[in-house]
Structure 1
Amino acid sequence: MSIFHGTVGFYRHFRPDVPEAVADILDAAVPASSPRRLLDIGTGTGLVVEALRGRFDDIIGIDPDAEMLTVAETALRPRLPAGAQLRLAETTAEEFTPPAGWQADLVTICRTFHWLDQARVLNQLDAQVSPDGVVAIFADKSFWAAHHDWETAVRKVIQDFLGEKRRAGAGTFHERRRPDIQALRDSPFNQVEESVVPVHRTWTANSIIGYLHSTSFAEPELFGDRLNEFDNAVRAALAQCSDTDTFVEENEFLIQLGRRPSVRR
């Protein structure tokens, strides 16, 4: 069972979108072509595909969670530009095999690289990516990496209910010691460029709780019959940080673009 089981409704409505500035960097990373092929790993409910809509016309999104893919299909299919092709596949990145002869111009791995067998996936992609193709690993910072006072207060509530260690569904989250950029440098896509896109967001208590329930560390099933108690505790903690139900977040997307050494820009 997916570690995101039971989060899909919250995920689609409360996970922040991929900013247009991030989409612009991804778009500019690969040459214009027709067809222009995108492989989105860990597509979830389709946030990356949505951000790149109209920029790629042959798209494959993969995810091991069937519920997520059902929501992605409903959200994305009606909004595809004329002539664009979308295929969604229930599979892991480790087990994915593209159609015969199909190679991606861009591979996107957003907010999911830490869940993958990184070396295996990157090595497999060498056969799945076009000669001048790019692998893009990118993410913003989780609430768990708190630095605003209200984020710290929320994390404290989660730890009061679930323990000090960050959860990952029924298990615990194990932070990888090797930075993402090192995984790229040790892969066939070892020519790496980094970009940072600042992000400013404003939250309310409702949207914060919705976001929390979209995560593997605060998904609803973890709380059992204490879910309402948890939600109320989060609201109480947030009320101590703002009397206007307004919570400002300064975040950023770190984007790492990996190319093969033979590619010259």
Structure 2
Amino acid sequence: MSVFEGTAGYYGRYRPGLPPEVIALLADAGSASRPRRLLDIGTGTGLVVKALLDQFDDIIALDTDADMLVVAETDLRPRLPHGARLSLCRGAAEEFMPPQGWRADLVTFCRVFHWLDRAAVLARLNQHVAPHGAVAVLADRSLWTATNPWQQAVRSVVQDFLGTQRRAGSGAFPASPEPFGQTLRSSAFSNVSETYVPVRRTWSTDGVLGYLYSTSFAAPHLFGDRRDRFETAVKRILALFSDNDTFIEDNTFVIHLGRRPA
């Protein structure tokens, strides 16, 4: 079972997309030669691909979750520019093999790098990234690690229902062995830059619940027959922080961009 079992519909609707500054940075990264090729690993419902559809001519989007790929197909295919190619592939990053001769100008990992055998994936990518290509690791804080008071209160509700240890579906969330930048610097893509993009988001109670149900630590099935009680508890705690159903989140998008040394 995927750790995101049952979350795809919520993921596509409630997960925040990429800030404009992040999109611009990615659009300028990697080789500018044509055709431009993008490999998005752990694409989920295709948030990164959706943001970059008009910047690349040939896109491969990879994920292990079949339901996520169905949502991505439905959302992305009608938006595809004329002449562009999009391949949605199901499989593990550690085993991925592109078509013969296919080399990415940019590889993106958005909110997924912590799930992977990073060293193995980066070693494999060394064969499949163009000489002047780049690898981008993107992440912002999830509600589990957020520092906004209302989000910390909501996390406490999740913990009351599911335990204090962060869940990953029916298992436990994997511990991160080292910072993302350090992993990149130990790979073939060791010329690493770091960019920090502040983000302010506005949420409603429905949006917060939808977001929670898009995560591996609060997937709907984890609550069983207690789901209604969980929703009531979340609504009750959020009402303490706003009288107009508006909740402000301050977050930061961190982009590690790795290239091969010159």
Relative to the length of structure 2, the TM-score reads 0.99
Deviations 1:149-181 (A, max 9, x none): 101110000010011100000011132130000
Partners of 2:207 and 2:13 lie apart in 1 by: 9
Q: Does 1:47 align with 2:47?
A: yes
> Which residue identity does 1:239 align to in structure 2?
A
SS at match of 1:94: helix
SS at match of 2:255: strand
Runs of 4+ more than 6 Å apart: none
Number of aligned positions between the proteins: 262
Q: Does 1:154 align with 2:154?
A: yes
- Aligned counterparts, 1:73-84, within 5 A: 73-84=73-84
- Aligned counterparts, 1:10-159, within 5 A: 10-159=10-159
Partners of 2:173 and 2:31 lie apart in 1 by: 37
RMSD after superposition: 0.7
> Which residue identity does 1:95 align to in structure 2?
E
The CA deviation at 1:251 is 0.7
Percent sequence identity over aligned pairs: 58
Deviations 1:84-112 (A, max 9, x none): 00001000101110000000000000000
The CA deviation at 1:140 is 1.0
Q: Is the 8 A contact 2:114 2:174 kept in 1?
A: no
SS at match of 1:250: strand
In the alignment, which residue of structure 2 is the partner of 1:2? 2
Q: Is the 8 A contact 2:115 2:174 kept in 1?
A: no
The CA deviation at 1:31 is 3.2
Partners of 1:147 and 1:66 lie apart in 2 by: 33
> Which residue identity does 1:44 align to in structure 2?
G
Partners of 2:2 and 2:223 lie apart in 1 by: 17
> Which residue identity does 1:117 align to in structure 2?
D
The CA deviation at 1:53 is 1.4
The CA deviation at 1:197 is 1.0
The CA deviation at 1:146 is 2.4
Relative to the length of structure 1, the TM-score reads 0.97
SS at match of 2:25: helix
Structure 1 unaligned residues grouped into runs of 5+: none
